A and B are shown apart, each in its own frame.
Chain A
Amino acid sequence: MPMLYMNDVVKSYRTDLVQTRALDHVSLEIEAGEFVSVSGPSGSGKTTFLNVTGLLDTFDEGTYQLDGVDVSRLGDLEQSRIRNQKIGFVFQGFNLIPDLDIFDNVDVPLRYRGLSSKERKRRIDEGLERVGLGGRKHHLPSQLSGGQQQRVAIARALAGEPKLILADEPTGNLDSATAYEIMELLETVNEAGTTILMVTHDPGCAAHAHRQVHLLDGRLIDVREEAVPTLNLSQLPRVDESATAATA
């Protein structure tokens, strides 16, 4: 049974005037333990793809099973539980909560899981040690460098022992040396058995993945099947990524 199974998933955004198909019959299977990268130009539907995959957004048609569970018909409570227990997120902007210190940031998903305080502390300490930040538990995110913040984010994603890590341009805001370290870290995590799905347009990052897929105009192109077409930026349709933002 695949970790992730998507079949003919369609997602459209409608405004009064136009309908934009952000995901156009996307089908994808990812086995447990795989490290897959998704790349594509700005506006190709990467963000929508990641939102749908991470149960952050709904889709209109098709099937999506995560770890054998059909998630399309689940209510908010169940979806939240799956996000909390099965998925770990790593964001481009790190997205640590600025009011909370490092310890509390890693604590957030564990709190929603309802773990005992002893268990939470153990996991947080362990997670922070693992990313080499054991000594900075009570620093605020703003007191850390970008690379350190991303490590915290990874620690937060791992603390819940998820089956799938969704990473969105995890190195987008980092210099190349730090980016390399972060990719190494993700590889280590993957080697320990966690499936990783990473959205990136950085070929260097994508190279760390076992498999690369491409998105173009909302359609998925698996490199196992086709060659990557060359892109002409000027011809790209203007699918507005901020459309998701507007609904937020």
Chain B
Amino acid sequence: MSIRMLPYYLRLATKSLLATPGLTLLTLVALGLGIAVPTASLSIRHVFGQDPFPEKSDRLFNVRLDNWETESEFFGPAGEPPKHITYQDMVRVRELTPEIPSTGIGAASIFLFPPDESLRPYQVLTRLCHSDFFSMFNAPFTYGDAWSEESDRNPDHVAVLSHEGNQKLFGGQDSVGKKIRLGEQEFEVVGVLAPWRPTPQIYDTVNNPYGTVREIFVPFEHVLDDALGLQRATSDDAFGSRPQGGTLRETYMAWELNWIQFWAELAPSELALYRQTVDDYSLAQKELGRFPRPLNNRVQPLMGWLEEQAIQRGAGPGTDALVIVSVLFLLVCCLNLTGLLLAKFLARSGILGIHRALGAPMRSIFMQRLVECVLVATAGGVLGAILAGGALRLLDQTAPDRFLRPGIFSLDSYSLVAALVLALGAGLLSGVYPAWRACRIAPAIQLKVQ
């Protein structure tokens, strides 16, 4: 019966809303804001708290080794090993586990010399990584593919461009096989990525969690090429001093400079053995006089690592507070809505009384009023979604691109669903009591004022 009456109830609700335009506007604004604030903060939180690789986040592990000295505390959360590892440890652990896909992550800046000699060279941020990086993190290719493991070892002068990098350098064309000049050496483009915005940029949560994807990826070993002029652009921690003399390789193989994020892809069955290998390696290094502290290594699943990073940066708890505040904000708006609807229904009790006299049962009045609430809520939800979209856009524009990539905050499907659910929930929650009061209005044969 109710379903058949629904169109009629909608009509009555519309008439009722239009009959009190001022109040309806008041309600809509209040509710729209009530929806907008939590919607915006939920999507902000979503950006900071989402699982970027739900399909394989349980197989990606961040690996850290505690090589720190005993004389000083590592500059970071107490009890945690350094957030980065050294070049020498990365190389040796990779040698010990040749079957395990793994990659170091480093960032460096390098000069790019445009083909047109009249243009001034400019500095680009380059991602240093191993060939496994692309498959491990599901990087999508538009053209070409990742470089080979052999290219890792040599290292070959090959590069993968991000979508943005390819747009900038080659206007978006298929640039595979073309050359780019980095630090006055020629690199061949072997692959071009599709637009790819892992959020957060999990493989580099320390330096660039929410910024733009680097334009150029090159094999990690190029870091040893003195002539290339690569400059590390990551946060790093070191104790002792930089080994003097020798080649760059010799320097890096002896330097206690923690600057590389290291990731491994492990099946559940491989995890225990891998942990053992890493710990055995640390113990072996102790024999050589390194790793003076008690064993404190981490092979940490992606989400655990992200949470720890977020907490360290304050993003996690910051957005938690925002969500708590937003929920209370919505509560205030719901109370408002209840008050306004109640006032309205009671002010119009005469009309409801006539409906009752003309044969409307209580449940019908209840449903009518609830339909009105849901109608207001839906309109408020739409308004809220628009406002939230505007707020997120504004936030997106104000936030510096260097730290928060453009478009990171937007009204995505997640926010839309959130707005809709919140609106309907708020409408029903706020409407039930006024609707119940309305349906208990006695049938009347007088339109009463007072």
In the complex they form, do A and B come into direct contact, defined as C-beta atoms under 8 angstroms apart? yes
Q: Which residues of A contact B (CB under 8 A)?
A: 50-51, 54-57, 76-77, 80-81, 83-85, 89, 91-93, 95, 97-100, 108-109, 111-114, 156, 160, 166, 168, 244-245, 247-248
Contact B354 A248 (CB under 8 A): no
Select which of A57, A84, A114, A168 is within 8 A of B358 by beta carbon: A84
Select which of A112, A156, A160, A248 is within 8 A of B444 by beta carbon: A248
List 28 A–B pairs whose Cβ atoms lie within 8 Å, in order of A's numbering: A54-B445, A55-B443, A56-B357, A56-B444, A57-B442, A80-B356, A80-B360, A81-B359, A81-B361, A83-B356, A89-B445, A91-B445, A93-B447, A95-B350, A95-B354, A97-B355, A99-B18, A100-B15, A108-B354, A108-B355, A109-B358, A111-B5, A112-B358, A114-B1, A244-B442, A245-B446, A245-B450, A247-B442
Residues in chain A near residue B444, CB distance under 8 A: 56, 248
Q: A56-B357, A80-B356 are in contact. Are A95 and B364 (CB under 8 A)?
A: no
Residues in chain B near residue A77, CB distance under 8 A: 361, 363
Task: Report the separation of the CA atoms of residues A241 and B363 in the bound assembly, to the nearest whole angstrom.
Answer: 28
| Interchain nearest-CB distance for B240 vs A (Å) | 83
Task: Report the separation of the CA atoms of residues A115 and B447 in the bound assembly, to the nearest whole angstrom.
Answer: 26
| Interchain nearest-CB distance for A95 vs B (Å) | 5
Q: Is B362 an interface position by the 8 A CB rule?
A: yes
Closest residue of A by beta carbon distance from B8: A111
Task: Report the separation of the CA atoms of residues A21 and B446 in the bound assembly, to the nearest whole angstrom.
Answer: 21
Q: A80-B360, A114-B4 are in contact. Are A248 and B445 (CB under 8 A)?
A: no
Contact B442 A56 (CB under 8 A): yes
Contact with A along B270-301 (1 / 0, CB 8 A): 00000000000000000000000000000000
Contact B359 A113 (CB under 8 A): yes
Contact A168 B445 (CB under 8 A): yes
Contact A98 B351 (CB under 8 A): yes
Residues in chain A near residue B441, CB distance under 8 A: 248
List the 5 closest pairs (A to B, CB-CB), nearest first. Answer: A84-B359, A80-B361, A99-B15, A56-B443, A109-B358
Contact with A along B2-23 (1 / 0, CB 8 A): 0011001000000110110000
Apart from A91-B445, A98-B19, A112-B360: 8 A-B pairs, beta carbons within 8 A? A56-B356, A76-B363, A89-B357, A95-B445, A99-B18, A99-B351, A112-B364, A248-B441
Residues in chain A near residue B15, CB distance under 8 A: 99-100
Q: Is B448 an interface position by the 8 A CB rule?
A: yes
Contact B354 A245 (CB under 8 A): no
| Interchain nearest-CB distance for B3 vs A (Å) | 12
Residues in chain A near residue B16, CB distance under 8 A: 99
Task: Report the separation of the CA atoms of residues A95 and B356 in the bound assembly, to the nearest whole angstrom.
Answer: 12
| Interchain nearest-CB distance for A38 vs B (Å) | 14
Task: Report the separation of the CA atoms of residues A92 and B448 in the bound assembly, to the nearest whole angstrom.
Answer: 12
| Interchain nearest-CB distance for A16 vs B (Å) | 20
| Interchain nearest-CB distance for B354 vs A (Å) | 5
Task: Report the separation of the CA atoms of residues A57 and B448 in the bound assembly, to the nearest whole angstrom.
Answer: 16
Within B334-378, which residues are at the interface with A (CB < 8 Å)? 349-351, 353-364
| Interchain nearest-CB distance for A130 vs B (Å) | 18
Contact A109 B359 (CB under 8 A): yes
